[in-house]
């Protein structure tokens, strides 16, 4: 016999009821958390007295936003995500994914048309509708462009996934050319395009690639050898000062000093390595942290050599392999030699390709080393030091080579940094830099070159992009400077990534050994996660 339960007694709280309850709790927690953070602001007035500013309106806005966000997530977000996993009774298929619903052809065409129209009309828009709406229209244009790009990426996602490395390298090689081309079209002059490209190539391209290189260098020490190094910026500093001092005092060229700076940093890597050979984990982290600070303090206090905290300026530029120069006054200035218009952009584009080359060198060396005995020994050392030693691996030399190799790439990046800035001071080599580089390695997934590169683009590119978000001033008022929030966003992004992917963007590692080591991997093994 069937037992029927009356619907009233069976009823559980509907999502809406539950959401209301949870929203109330979230609001209460936000109120408790932020009442002193946001509700009250302390400052001082002109006669140095403590002034208490009350900001109840802002507090209310934050609390309401939290509650509403929680309500929407519990009432609609969670049921939606649960539904995505339930197959349709009639067809037996899973519901269409969010992606395929979001990226549809009509919307794509609309976005293309909107973007093109707004690009064509961009100069005359402000005159027609006024400055403020024009700002919003520019924002709309940016959204349309992002939507178009995202649609293309979504459509080709399988292809992109399969050829990620090749496509990534190709995109990096073409990046400055594309930037100049697009901006030249936009400004309808090549000189204008070159001028406009400065920001994109320098602030985004070079800046990100420096961090990619640093993170890849640190990856050898932390990701492969498992030696937690919190003072990596010291080697960056050593490389930078090596080039700065030798370049300004002896006028040696970058092409001689680049390897010299690398060697110098590697030497100091070994110097750091010796005392910390017996340390691991937290203890190693503390000593390397101290090493980073020691180098910085030496740079500040050894005034006779390093010029203290005023730093070294007038660092010579890199030449085009000695053939052409990037100094306007030189007789072999690139624009004179090639008979083209003067522009500072040539140097930036050249530097972009230089750092790209250095990055690729780092990646190449890392990939090759992983397949050599020393690279395998690094990974084994990370896993189990005692087992390593009982297999006949000399852990002393293994650790020292890891420190030296990692430091060498830090030194390369440092000398490049000095050449790019033309000025170095100890301020560029603070602990925060080490922390950011380490964060990129951890977020990307220790040991994974692709993951680390993506993490560097997101972290460094993201914080740089904040400077571009001028339209936010129209929402939050002219005093709002988005770049001040970059550390907050950096932290938030890290928390989110660590919750979502605790091993970093790319958590898996590529095996390096197969059944027949000198032959290609047979198909029967590629199935099990090699591909």
Partner 1 sequence: MAGTTLLDIKGVQTYYGNIRALNGVDVSVNQGEIVALIGANGAGKSTLMMTIFGAPRARSGTITFAGTDITQMPTHEIARMRIAQSPEGRRIFPRMTVMENLQMGASLDNLKHYDEDVEKVFTLFPRLKERIAQRGGTLSGGEQQMLSIGRALMARPKLLLLDEPSLGLAPLIVKQIFDAIRELNRTQGLTVFLVEQNAFGALKLATRGYVMVNGNVTMSGTGKELLANPEVRAAYLEGGHH
Return residues touching partner 1 (CB under 8 A): 373, 376-377, 379-380, 382-384, 386-395, 509, 511-518, 525, 528-530
For 449, residues 6+ apart whose C-beta sits below 8 A from its C-beta are: 216, 219, 363, 366, 367
C-alpha–C-alpha distance, residues 182 and 126, integer Å:
21
Smaller CB distance to partner 1: residue 158 or 386?
386
The SS3 assignment for 125 reads helix
Smaller CB distance to partner 1: residue 180 or 381?
381
CB of 132 to partner 1, least distance (A): 55
The SS3 assignment for 465 reads helix
Smaller CB distance to partner 1: residue 422 or 511?
511
CB of 516 to partner 1, least distance (A): 6
Smaller CB distance to partner 1: residue 366 or 428?
366
Smaller CB distance to partner 1: residue 239 or 447?
447
DSSP string, 165-220: HHHHHHHHHHHHHHHHHHHHHHHTSHHHHHHHHHHIIIIIIIHHHHHHHHHHHHHI
Smaller CB distance to partner 1: residue 183 or 225?
225
CB of 460 to partner 1, least distance (A): 28
Q: Spell out where 306-456 has E strands.
A: 312-313, 423-424
Smaller CB distance to partner 1: residue 55 or 389?
389
Are residues 179 and 201 in contact, defined by beta-carbon separation less than 8 angstroms?
A: yes
The maximal CA–CA distance of the chain, rounded, in angstroms, is 102
CB of 372 to partner 1, least distance (A): 10
C-alpha–C-alpha distance, residues 53 and 38, integer Å:
10
C-alpha–C-alpha distance, residues 400 and 394, integer Å:
10
CB of 507 to partner 1, least distance (A): 11
C-alpha–C-alpha distance, residues 396 and 517, integer Å:
27
CB of 390 to partner 1, least distance (A): 5
CB of 272 to partner 1, least distance (A): 22
């Amino acid at each position: 016999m069937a037992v029927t339960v009356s619907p009233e007694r069976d009823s559980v709280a509907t999502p809406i009821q539950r959401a209301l309850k949870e929203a109330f709790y979230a609001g209460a927690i936000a109120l408790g958390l932020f009442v002193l953070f946001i509700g009250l602001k302390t400052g001082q007035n002109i006669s140095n007295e403590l002034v208490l500013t009350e900001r109840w309106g802002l507090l209310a806005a934050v609390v309401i936003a939290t509650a509403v966000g929680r309500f929407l997530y519990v009432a609609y977000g969670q049921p939606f995500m649960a539904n995505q996993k339930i197959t349709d009774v009639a067809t037996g298929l899973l519901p269409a994914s969010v992606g395929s619903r979001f990226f549809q052809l009509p919307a794509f065409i609309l976005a293309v048309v909107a973007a093109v129209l707004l690009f064509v009309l961009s100069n005359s828009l402000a005159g027609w509708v006024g400055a403020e709406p024009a700002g919003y229209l520019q924002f709309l244009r940016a959204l349309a462009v992002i939507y178009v790009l995202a649609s293309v990426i979504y459509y080709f996602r399988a292809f992109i996934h399969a050829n990620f490395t090749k496509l990534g390298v190709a995109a990096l090689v073409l990046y400055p050319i594309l930037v100049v081309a697009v901006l030249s079209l936009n400004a309808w002059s090549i000189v204008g395009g070159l001028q406009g490209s400065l920001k994109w190539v320098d602030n985004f391209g070079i800046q990100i690639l420096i961090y990619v290189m640093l993170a890849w260098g640190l990856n050898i020490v932390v990701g492969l050898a498992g030696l937690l190094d919190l003072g990596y910026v010291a080697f960056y500093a050593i490389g930078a000062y090596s080039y700065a001092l030798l370049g300004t005092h002896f006028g040696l060229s970058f092409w001689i000093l680049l390897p010299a700076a690398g060697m110098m940093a590697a030497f100091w890597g070994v110097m750091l390595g010796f005392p910390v050979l017996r340390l691991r984990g937290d203890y190693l982290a503390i000593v390397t942290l101290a090493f980073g600070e020691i180098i910085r303090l030496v740079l500040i206090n050894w005034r006779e050599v390093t010029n203290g905290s005023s730093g070294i300026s007038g660092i010579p530029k890199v030449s085009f392999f000695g053939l052409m120069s990037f100094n306007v006054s030189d007789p072999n200035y690139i624009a004179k030699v090639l008979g083209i218009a003067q522009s500072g952009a040539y140097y930036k584009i050249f530097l972009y390709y230089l750092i790209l080359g250095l990055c690729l060198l780092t990646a190449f060396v890392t990939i090759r080393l992983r397949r050599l005995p020393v690279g395998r020994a690094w990974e084994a050392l990370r896993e189990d030091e005692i087992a390593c030693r009982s297999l006949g691996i000399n852990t002393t030399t293994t650790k020292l080579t890891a420190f030296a190799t990692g430091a060498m790439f830090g030194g390369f990046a440092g000398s490049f940094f000095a050449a790019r800035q033309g000025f170095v001071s100890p301020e560029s080599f603070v602990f925060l830099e080490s922390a950011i580089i380490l964060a990129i390695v951890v977020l990307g997934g220790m040991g994974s070159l692709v993951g680390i590169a993506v993490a560097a683009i997101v972290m460094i590119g993201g914080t740089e992009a904040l400077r571009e978000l001028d339209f936010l001033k129209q929402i939050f008022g002219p005093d709002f400077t988005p770049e001040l929030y970059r550390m907050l966003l950096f932290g938030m992004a890290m928390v989110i990534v660590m919750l979502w992917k605790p091993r970093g963007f790319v958590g898996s590692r590529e095996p390096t050994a197969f059944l027949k080591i000198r032959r290609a991997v047979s198909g029967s093994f590629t199935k099990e996660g090699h591909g």
